[in-house]
Amino acid sequence: MSLIKDEYPILERDTEQLAVIMPNRRNEYSLPEKCVFAFLGDVTDHYALQHECKVIAQFESITKTYPIYSTVYKDEEICFCQAPCGASAATQILDFLIAYGVKYVIACGSCGALENIDENEIIIPNEALRDEGTSYHYIKPSRTIKISDRAINAIKRAADIWKVRYIECKTWTTDGFYRETKDMVEYRREEGCVVVEMECSALAACSEFRGIEFGQILFTADTLFNPEDYDERDWGTSSYDIALLLSLEAVRII
């Protein structure tokens, strides 16, 4: 029996891969195997315009339509698209990408610093604490999820190529942006989380369930290191371009 029941609905799941609504139910697209999934606002659209990239697919949501572009980076065809904030919305598009042929994904986006880390530092998460709901629909409950060694190594090689320093660490993935309380921040820090974001553990769980490689590049934006004096800083906007280039490099060599 594939249906697993529990007292708490969030811990119930079905191991069956086939769902009533499948992301490729319309059988519309054929995507490249390698993909960059970018939490970078309109940077993906600007890059596509500058490099004359083609729209090869579209993901239609109730709020907007997300174009999926194709580019050739160092003789490798790679698709890329904007990613929406939040585990559930982001995983919905990731599942769509996987259903249409994507097998290797590097995501990139900002994170909050829990330790005393400068803004715009490159972070490579090797483990994500699952403080969101989406991942529990894909894999069995666990406190954390490991990130693919293959993807991590590809990101490190990309950083070396671009001569970018990085910090490898554990991240806290949360659904509750406005529930990062002083005590919760300290609790997460005590168990080894160095940064916080909203998608990594869910994307990793979906990727594990679907059998593809996933890694993520983060860069520090705001800081929660001193909860009494929260600082948005500049939200890491100076890192947008390098994060996209590092992701293209990493997914090329994965």
* Token pair listed for 207: 């990727």
Q: Tell me how far the alpha carbon of residue 148 is from its chain's centroid.
A: 13
Reduce the DSSP state of residue 45 to 3 states and report it. helix
pTM of the model: 0.96
SS (H, E, C) 187-209: HHHHCCEEEEECCHHHHHHHHHH
Residue 73 vs residues 45, 68, 95, 249: alpha-carbon distances, Å: 16, 15, 24, 8
**Averages of pLDDT over each 10 residues, the chain, 254 residues:** 89 93 92 98 96 97 96 97 98 98 98 98 98 97 98 98 98 97 97 98 98 98 95 96 98 97
204 backbone dihedrals φ, ψ, rounded to 5°: -65, -40
CB atoms within 10 A of CB 126: 16
Q: Would you state the pLDDT for residue 189?
A: 97
How many residues comprise the chain?
A: 254
- State residue 1's pLDDT score: 55
- Ordered by where they begin, the domains of the chain are 30-253 (3.40.50.1580)
Identity of residue 206? C
CA dist 66 → 100, 135, 161 (Å): 15, 22, 30
